[in-house]
Amino acid sequence: MAKFRLRLLTVATVLATLALLISAAAASATPVRVEGPRGNVFQGTVTPFVGSLKDQNGVSHKTTKTTALGALVAASRTGPFPLGLSWSDSFGGGWAGFFINSVNRVAPPPTAFWAVKIKQKLTIAGAGSALVTPTSSVLVYYTTYDPTTFATEKTLAITASNSSVAVGAPVTITVRAYDDAGHPTPGANAWVWVNGVGVHADATGQAVVRLGKPGAFSVRSTAPNEIRSQTLWIHATAS
Rounded CA-CA distance 18/59 in Å is 36
Domains of the chain: 30-144 (2.170.130.30), 155-237 (2.60.40.10)
Q: pLDDT exceeding 70 applies to what percent of the chain?
A: 89
| Residue 49: count of CB within 10 angstroms of its CB | 19
Q: Between β-strands 191-194 and 215-222, what pairing exists: parallel, antiparallel or unpaired?
A: antiparallel
Which tens digits make up the pLDDT trace of 69-112? 999 999 999 999 999 999 998 888 899 999 999 999 999 999 99
Q: What is the pLDDT of residue 239?
A: 74
Phi first, then psi, for residue 89 (nearest 5°) are -75, -5
Longest dimension (CA), the chain: 79
Q: Report whether pLDDT(12) > 50.
A: no
Rounded CA-CA distance 58/117 in Å is 28
What's the whole-number average pLDDT of the chain?
90
pTM of the model: 0.87
